[in-house]
Structure 1
Amino acid sequence: MPRPPKEIVPAEPNISVGKFYFVKREEELLKSKILDIRIGESNAKEYYVHYESLNRRLDEWVQADRIVTRGVPGDEDLGSFSQNLGGQRNRIDEEDLVDSESPTDDLEREHKQLTKVKHIDCIQFGMYEIDTWYFSPYPDEYGKQKKLFICEYCLKYMKLEKTYRYHLGECIRRHPPGKEIYHKVTLPPFQRQGYGKLLIAFSYELSKIEGVLGSPEHPLSDLGKLSYRSYWSWVLLDILRELKGNVTVRKLSEMTSITCSDIISTLESMSMLKYRVGDDAACVTPHLVDECIRSAQFKRPRLTVDTAHLKWDPPNTGKTDDSGSIVEIDSSEDEDSPMKSADERNDLETDDSNSSF
């Protein structure tokens, strides 16, 4: 009696850490680098990929069927590119180790290496399941879980859903512990509803009452920078479109509690700083203001702070000081330029004329 044919098991593709491949993502093939390999729940290999053209927060674990190892036009060039880049990277790493300026450089390099791969794919936080963006430094037994369960009241984290359900029945807290754990952040389930700008506006209203200048901690994340820049743009344009005559950057800072440096960088981002040859005034015309207001950068917040109902006594602290230094203009290409130094450009002029520059 003939034996039944053996089940044919497809050969596992030869995919290596550090190599570049094309990976399928939302109907596209994107050049990606393999950063790590793990064994998934079904005992199949999973590969942690970084998409070269996308932000690091979109790195993810994928299965082999999403990775194209052959048959893609130009994949020979991709393979040689990965080898060359890998060799170059090794040489750079070796040079960095030899020429390290301080122990801090080595620690930063080690931190980057340890945090480049995220193992937690999502968390259960209250009634929401939230996808993660970056590595989180949980202890090993928790940090390697695909999903963590976190109590939204006491922030206790757990590996098992049954433990989480039991804890919810026992937890007596109704807010996170501590008195100063606040941070301007909007969790993913509540994003794109105006809460981020509301928190930013609220913090600046407190700064106005306190009589100090406010600025976010730097460096900002990419999304943080977009949120603050959008708020600053709206506040400044809202003032400039109603303003007649001249106003200094320092005066705008006093009106808004936004630092001079943040005001200048925002105006520069909107191409609103125009310097006239032979004049020490930066000129912002009504035409420029109207153009910016019509652009996507000017977005009136969905939610605003009603200061009439804001009752708060500030703590007894001293005022902060801002240098008020104005944007530095690089005139190296024209040594004969009559431009004055950056420190002399203290006036931001709103010009009622239709002159162009």
Structure 2
Amino acid sequence: MGSIDTPKSEQNGSTTAITDAGAKSSAVDSMPPPLTKQSNGTMAETEISKKRKGGVLPLEVGTRVMCRWRDGKYHPVKVIERRKLSPSAFSDYEYYVHYTEFNRRLDEWVKLEQLELDSVETVVDEKVEDKVTGLKMTRHQKRKIDETHVEGHEELDAASLREHEEFTKVKNIATIELGRYEIETWYFSPFPPEYNDCSKLYFCEFCLNFMKRKEQLQRHMKKCDLKHPPGDEIYRSGTLSMFEVDGKKNKVYGQNLCYLAKLFLDHKTLYYDVDLFLFYILCECDDRGCHMVGYFSKEKHSEESYNLACILTLPPYQRKGYGKFLIAFSYELSKKEGKVGTPERPLSDLGQLSYRGYWIRVLLDILKKHKGNISIKELSDMTAIKAEDILGTLQGLDLIQYRKGQHVICADPKVLDRHLKAAGRGGLEVDVSKLIWTPYREQG
């Protein structure tokens, strides 16, 4: 489950807007300051030589050490990978590190001078045994097995998980250019082998074809006649528009979207068979066209009542309410289908926060306005939210009691007001009168 809104503590200044003049300006508030050399963090050549002779350098994969981040402070990291610099380089190696306090999206390559070598630890993670397979795994790997699955709803076994983590541990594409934004990526995405040597890719923001060089993109844009996603516009309200794209009818677009989205989604594997999915692309529209803000996907036929498979708000558009809008839109489609829905698990950290916020706001609004008793079944029928999600949300708010063999909702007005205040504003609303859509039917 994908990226929706990034907490400010984990923003890393990853997005810049490219102006018409070609200059770049910041598109993310509260960016950490750029790295600067500090005399107390830079080692003299003789000191580095001493560490090298003492066997500390080069650092081994798995080493834990303190690293200076963009905020100028030192944070604990684990070395994930290393690579040799040119023979003339002073530092010999640079290291790909994971900041253990933060999400994997902030992993990055760092120079030796950013590392505090006096803090080096080589302690190996404590092993825990997987009772199912009998294989030894770190706690981190065990947790990942609980969180990770492949499309098709099959859990990865321990061996497959380790292979997957090894293959995807280092970001292969550092930045992308999409429309007027240059965006730092968060995760690995399995682009075709011919893109292995590219640290930056250029995307057409309308058809999502990607290229290695800016000149290729410029030539492509002169020929590309698309000004919006290649599907049916099913919603238009003000400057916001939603397009439904059938993966079977627009296979290349669907695959390109998945390549792009995987750069910002950690817990999902890439769709290869996009025929089975519908993609709902949210756009901001102006006189230049409809510019992708984010999207969600859903299976055409889901036995598990999933009304959403993946969801992503692109980094330049986060913290503006688009994530909850996409969630709300998925439930409006479920209402049109006459079904209850639930998101496909696992939810990412950001996905969990956004869904919980949405469920709380919707349910509390109803409880506050409703006179008399109301059952979980009635709430589910009104909202298209699955009963289990309603029960879990209300239990988390201590609004459920178990009396005489059944769950009873306790909706004290003062308690509801307190929870509503804590939940914050509702964000962008879906104007259902502007939704023109009929449920998917397989054509014979």
Q: TM-score, normalised by structure 1?
A: 0.73
Q: What is the CA distance between 1:316 and its match in structure 2?
A: 5.6
Among 334, 346, 366, which residue is 1:219 paired with? 346
Look up the match of 1:321. Answer: none
Look up the match of 2:315. Answer: 188
**In the alignment, residue 381 of structure 2 is paired with which amino acid?**
E
Among 97, 100, 106, which residue is 1:52 paired with? 100
Whole-angstrom CA distance in 2 between matches of 1:167 and 1:40: 35
Look up the match of 2:83. Answer: 38
Paired residues, number = 294
| Structure-to-structure mapping, 1:19-98, within 5 angstroms | 19-25=63-69, 26-39=71-84, 45-70=93-118, 75=119, 79=121, 82-85=122-125, 88-89=126-127, 96=135
1:155-181 superposed Cα distances (whole Å, 9 cap, x missing partner) = 222222222323222333334457324
Whole-angstrom CA distance in 2 between matches of 1:90 and 1:240: 45
Among 432, 436, 440, which residue is 1:311 paired with? 436
Q: What is the CA distance between 1:304 and its match in structure 2?
A: 0.7
Whole-angstrom CA distance in 2 between matches of 1:162 and 1:189: 24
1:238-289 superposed Cα distances (whole Å, 9 cap, x missing partner) = 0111122211101000010100011112112323223458886343322321
Whole-angstrom CA distance in 1 between matches of 2:387 and 2:204: 41
Whole-angstrom CA distance in 2 between matches of 1:280 and 1:305: 31
- Counterparts in 2 of 1:162 and 1:39: CA distance versus 1, 3 Å: farther
Among 407, 410, 425, which residue is 1:300 paired with? 425
Give 1 or 2 for the bigger CA radius of gyration: 1
- Counterparts in 2 of 1:18 and 1:241: CA distance versus 1, 3 Å: same
For structure 1, the residue ranges without an aligned partner over 5 or more in a row are: 1-7, 318-357
Among 150, 157, 171, which residue is 1:118 paired with? 171
The percentage of aligned residue pairs carrying the same residue is: 42
Among 159, 183, 192, which residue is 1:130 paired with? 183
Query: Is the CA contact 1:274–1:284 (under 8 Å) kept in the aligned structure 2?
Result: no
Look up the match of 1:209. Answer: 336
Secondary structure of 2:176 counterpart: strand
Greater RCO, 1 or 2 (C-alpha within 8 Å, sep 6+): 2
Whole-angstrom CA distance in 2 between matches of 1:151 and 1:33: 36
Query: Is the CA contact 2:128–2:136 (under 8 Å) kept in the aligned structure 1?
Result: no
Whose helix proportion is higher, 1 or 2? Answer: 1
Moved more, 121-130 or 180-189: 180-189
Query: Is the CA contact 2:176–2:185 (under 8 Å) kept in the aligned structure 1?
Result: yes
- Counterparts in 2 of 1:97 and 1:258: CA distance versus 1, 3 Å: same
- Counterparts in 2 of 1:95 and 1:262: CA distance versus 1, 3 Å: closer
Query: Is the CA contact 2:64–2:79 (under 8 Å) kept in the aligned structure 1?
Result: yes
Secondary structure of 2:377 counterpart: helix
Whole-angstrom CA distance in 2 between matches of 1:264 and 1:143: 47
Q: What is the CA distance between 1:314 and its match in structure 2?
A: 3.1
**In the alignment, residue 223 of structure 2 is paired with which amino acid?**
E
Among 144, 147, 156, which residue is 2:209 paired with? 156
Whole-angstrom CA distance in 2 between matches of 1:20 and 1:146: 26
- Counterparts in 2 of 1:306 and 1:203: CA distance versus 1, 3 Å: same
**In the alignment, residue 222 of structure 2 is paired with which amino acid?**
G
CA RMSD of aligned residues (A): 3.1
Whole-angstrom CA distance in 1 between matches of 2:156 and 2:348: 26
**In the alignment, residue 393 of structure 2 is paired with which amino acid?**
T
Secondary structure of 1:49 counterpart: strand
Residues 1:106 and 2:159 are matched in the alignment: yes
- Counterparts in 2 of 1:308 and 1:276: CA distance versus 1, 3 Å: same
Q: TM-score, normalised by structure 2?
A: 0.59
Secondary structure of 1:233 counterpart: helix
Secondary structure of 1:23 counterpart: strand
Query: Is the CA contact 1:137–1:143 (under 8 Å) kept in the aligned structure 2?
Result: no
Whose strand proportion is higher, 1 or 2? Answer: 2
1:4-58 superposed Cα distances (whole Å, 9 cap, x missing partner) = xxxx797475322211110011122111110111246996632110111111111
Whole-angstrom CA distance in 1 between matches of 2:128 and 2:419: 46
Whole-angstrom CA distance in 2 between matches of 1:103 and 1:236: 34
- Counterparts in 2 of 1:95 and 1:216: CA distance versus 1, 3 Å: closer
- Counterparts in 2 of 1:119 and 1:63: CA distance versus 1, 3 Å: farther
Look up the match of 1:236. Answer: 363
Residues 1:267 and 2:307 are matched in the alignment: no
**In the alignment, residue 18 of structure 1 is paired with which amino acid?**
G
Q: What is the CA distance between 1:234 and its match in structure 2?
A: 0.6
Secondary structure of 2:369 counterpart: coil
Look up the match of 2:58. Answer: 14
- Counterparts in 2 of 1:159 and 1:110: CA distance versus 1, 3 Å: same
For structure 2, the residue ranges without an aligned partner over 5 or more in a row are: 1-44, 138-154, 232-244, 247-253, 255-278, 280-294, 297-311
Whole-angstrom CA distance in 2 between matches of 1:146 and 1:158: 11
1:61-91 superposed Cα distances (whole Å, 9 cap, x missing partner) = 1111111102xxxx3xx62xx3343xx4599
Whole-angstrom CA distance in 1 between matches of 2:136 and 2:113: 38
Whole-angstrom CA distance in 2 between matches of 1:208 and 1:167: 40
Secondary structure of 1:130 counterpart: strand
